Amino acid sequence: MTILRSILICASFLVLATSAAAQVAPAPPAAQTSSKPAARPKAKADAKRPAAAPGPAAATVTPALAPDDPNVDLVYGAYQRGLYKTSFDLATKRAQENGDPKAMTMLGELYANGFGVKRDDTKAAEWYRRAADSGDREGMFELAMLRLAGRGGPVNREEAVKLLASSAKLGNPSAAYNLALLYLDGQTLPQDLRRSAELLRLAADAGSPEAQYALATFYKEGTGVPKDIEKAVRLLQAASLADNVDAEVEYAIALFNGTGTPKNEPAAVALLRKAARQNNPIAQNRLARVLASGQGAPLDRVEALKWHIIAKTAGKGDPALDEALADLSPADRAKAEAGARKWLGTK
C-alpha cells in the first residue's frame, strides 16, 4: 500500500513540465573559450575548436614530413595534439615567410592562452589584428573578443561590434552568435530582437549548437520570430545531437510530453540519463522523477533517490520527490546515499 501511495504521489508530477527550462536563461551562454570574455551571458566552452590534447607546453618535436595532401594543416594538427611549441614554430615561419593569415591567427591564439609561449595579450592582439587586416574571419572574431574583455588594450565595444559584423559576414557562426547576443542584451547595441534572431539563424544554419539552442528558445517564446513550437523542437533536436546539454534536457522534456514532436518516453529517458551524467541538475531531477514513477523506464526508487540527492546538492530541490521517496527502507536509503556519495566524490 505504501508503494502504491508513493506511485500515486509521483503521478502528480509525471508530466515533465517545461517550466523547469525557465531556469535556463532566455539566451544561452556565449560560445567561447574560457580565456575569452562573455558577450554578457556567462561563458560556455567553445564548440568551434576541438579541445587541445594535454601535453607539455614547451615540448618540441620534429614535425612530420608534409603528406601528399597539401591541404593538411601541420600547424593546426600540432595544436590539436598539444604540441604547442611545434605549432608556434611552424606558424611563425608561415606568417613571416608566406604572410599566412591563418598562421597569424594561430600565433594570436597561442599567445592569448599561453600555449607553448608565455601568455601575452598584447602580442595576441597584434597577431589577431594582422590576421584580421588580411581578411581572416577567425582573426576578426578573436580580436573582437579581446576588445570586449579589454585584453591587450582598453575595452572597445564599437571596434568589437565592427569586427564581429565583418567576421559574421564572412560566414563565421561564432561571430554571428556573439553579435546576436549583443543585439539581445541591448547594452552595447540597441536591443533588436529581430536582428538577433536573424543572426542566430545564420549561426544555427552553419551548425552552431549554441545558436540552435538559442533560436529554439526564441521560437518557443515568440521572441523576435513568430512562435512556433515545432521549429523550436527541431532546433533542440539538432543542438542535442551536437551534445548541447541544455538542448538535451529540453528536447527530452518535449519528447516525454509529446510537445511539438511525437511522444517517445524511452528516447526522452535516454537523453535525460545522458544529460544527468553531464551533471545537469534539471536532468538529474527529471530522471529521478521518471525512476520514482516508473513511466518511461523501469521503476527504481533507489536510483531515483540517488539522482534526487545529487540534484539537491546542486541546488535543485524537489519537495514532491522528498515525500514520494520518504518511505524507502533504511537499507535502500543507505544504498541510494552511498551511490550519491560515490557520484559526488564524497565520503
pLDDT digits (tens, 9 = 90+) for 166-217: 999 999 999 999 999 999 999 999 999 999 999 999 999 999 999 999 999 9
Looking at the chain, the whole-number percentage of residues with pLDDT higher than 90 is 78
Asked whether the predicted pLDDT for residue 41 surpasses 90, the reply is: no
The count of other CB atoms within 10 Å of the CB of residue 295 is: 18
Q: Is the pLDDT of residue 100 over 50?
A: yes
Helical residues (DSSP H) of 186-329, grouped into ranges:
193-205, 209-221, 229-241, 245-257, 265-277, 281-293, 301-313, 319-324
Residue 31 has pLDDT above 80, yes or no: no
Evaluate whether 261 touches 233 at the Cβ level (below 8 Å).
yes
Q: Is the pLDDT of residue 101 over 70?
A: yes
pLDDT at 58 over 70: no
Alpha carbon distance 156, 147 (integer Å): 5
Q: pLDDT digits over 147-157, tens only? A: 999 999 999 99
Task: Give yes or no for residue 13 having a pLDDT over 80.
Answer: no
Query: How much is the pLDDT for 68?
Result: 43
In sign, the C-alpha dihedral spanning 211, 213, 218, 219 is positive
The answer to whether the beta carbons of residues 236 and 228 sit under 8 Å apart is no
Q: State the DSSP H helix or E strand holding residue 30, giving kind and residue range, or none if neither.
A: strand 30-31
C-alpha distance across the termini of the chain, in Å: 34
Task: Please state the pTM of the whole predicted model.
Answer: 0.76
Q: H-helix or E-strand containing 105? A: helix 101-113
Residue for grid cell 519537495: 319
pLDDT at 70: 44
Question: According to the model, what pLDDT value does residue 289 have?
Answer: 97
**What is the per-residue pLDDT for 84?**
95
Does residue 30 carry a pLDDT above 70? no
Answer whether residue 60 shows pLDDT above 60.
Answer: no
259-304 per-position pLDDT tens digit: 999 999 999 999 999 999 999 999 999 999 999 999 999 999 999 9
CA distance 249 to 293: 18
Domain limits, the chain: 264-347
Contact 224, 194 (CB under 8 A): yes
DSSP element (H, E) containing 135 = none
- CA 91/CA 298 separation, integer angstroms: 55
**pLDDT band for position 346 (cuts 50, 70, 90):** confident
Residue of 253 and 22 predicted with greater confidence: 253
Specify the pLDDT at position 347.
Answer: 67
